[in-house]
Amino acid sequence: MQYINDLEEIIEINSYTKNPVGVNKVGKVFDEWLESLGFTTTLYKREEIGHHRYYTSKELKGEKKLLLLGHIDTVFPVGKFENFFQDDKWVYGPGVCDMKGGNLVFVEALRELQQQKIEIHNIDILLVSDEETGSDDSKHLTAELAKKYDYCFVYEAAGASLEVVTARKGVGTFFIDIIGKAAHAGNSYSEGHDANLEASYKLQELVKLTNLEKGTTVNVGKMEGGIGANTISPHAHLTFELRYKTTQEKERVLATIEEIVQREYVKGTSSTLSGGIQRDVMQTSAESLQLLKSIEDITGEKIPYEERGGVSDANIVSSCGVVTLDGFGPFGDGDHTVQERALKSSFISRIEMSRVLFKHFIENSDFKGE
């Protein structure tokens, strides 16, 4: 299994999102691998993060197109967690499942096609460099490129039973800045306008927007404010996150957030809202379920699927109307921790599934039956 050695090579290069030198070093390895398979590399150069990399195969006009999507950044700074090791069942290291290992799945499947002398066409690849910090830069590029494609496979980790992912919650991060008026808490208490008190009212109203039955959560994860115990607070700041499963819930919560921000609970305070939706919801659709059924017909296997609360760049592509499935990588756990690992046997099954699907797509220009 040469790909395990390839995995070791890229795992031991630190590719923390804020380490563009390391991210680009990993990217260059993928350039070499994919260019040897006939892909053409286009770099979208950045300075503070690594370059985004777009690999295109030969295009046959009038046929459907498939995008393979991944990221090459990881979450640990230099010196924190960088080693690769393995035992009989597992490989360990930063990115073995999230998601250098996933990227290697499609690389190895494409290699096997080349060995079978199958010319790769109408399959392209996008590897971004800032997914782990919210894709704030790359999401615009991903959305623009997605318009060219009919289908997208995302190579984030599979579920424990090798589930693919048909839905992910949408997520947004927001900030409320509150301005009050300082006053001496002993001598001039009534002259102050307490921004901290205003923040406390707003926090309670925001949390009330949570509806667990509908999968909606609002979490005020950080609050700051005030000067000291003897001063009425002249300013406060709330940082909160919204996650949701449906567009209807998003619209409900966003409208109510605006009302909460504009409402003056403490006389004399004023508030402003910033931030917004980072990745919109990816919902299970009739089209994605039909694609999944076609995959089962092509592979001859039952493919379980699941919906996840976490987000990925699949959210972005799906929001553009592209039929998208996620979770094509190997099964792993412990991602974003120093216990990250991936199951060796899942690489074998995922590589084979991808090889079969790519071959069918190339020969039939679709995932429908012959």
Count the helix, strand and coil residues of the chain and give each as a percent rounded to the nearest 5: 35, 25, 40
Q: What is the mean pLDDT of residues 328-349?
A: 97
Residues 32-62: pLDDT tens digits? 999 999 999 999 999 999 999 999 999 999 9
- For residue 370, pLDDT over 60 is answered with no
| pLDDT-based confidence at residue 339 (cuts at 50, 70, 90) | very high
- For residue 1, pLDDT over 90 is answered with no
**108 membership: H or E segment, kind and range:** helix 100-115
Q: What is the mean pLDDT of residues 121-130?
A: 98
Q: What is the mean pLDDT of residues 192-221?
A: 98
Q: What is the mean pLDDT of residues 203-215?
A: 98
Beta-strand relationship, 123-128 and 66-71: parallel
Q: What is the mean pLDDT of residues 184-207?
A: 97
- For residue 155, pLDDT over 80 is answered with yes
pLDDT at 368: 84
Domains with residue ranges and CATH for the chain: 2-168+281-364 (3.40.630.10), 170-279 (3.30.70.360)
Please name the amino acid found at residue 290. Q
pLDDT at 38: 98
The per-residue b/e assignment along 114-142, b for 16 or more CB within 10 angstroms, e otherwise, is eeeeeebbbbbbbbbbbbbeebebbbebb
Order across the sheet with 90-92: list the strands. 85-86, 90-92, 341-343, 332-333
| pLDDT-based confidence at residue 246 (cuts at 50, 70, 90) | very high
Residues 77-117: pLDDT tens digits? 999 999 999 999 999 999 999 999 999 999 999 999 999 99
For the question of whether the overall pTM of this predicted structure is more than 0.85, the answer is yes
pLDDT at 135: 95
Please spell the DSSP secondary structure of 238-267, one letter per residue.
EEEEEEESSHHHHHHHHHHHHHHHH--SST
Q: 252 to each of 209, 249, 257, 258, 264, how far by Cα in Å? A: 9, 5, 9, 10, 20
Q: Which tokens go with 212? A: 């667990």
CA 217 vs. chain centroid, Å, equals: 18
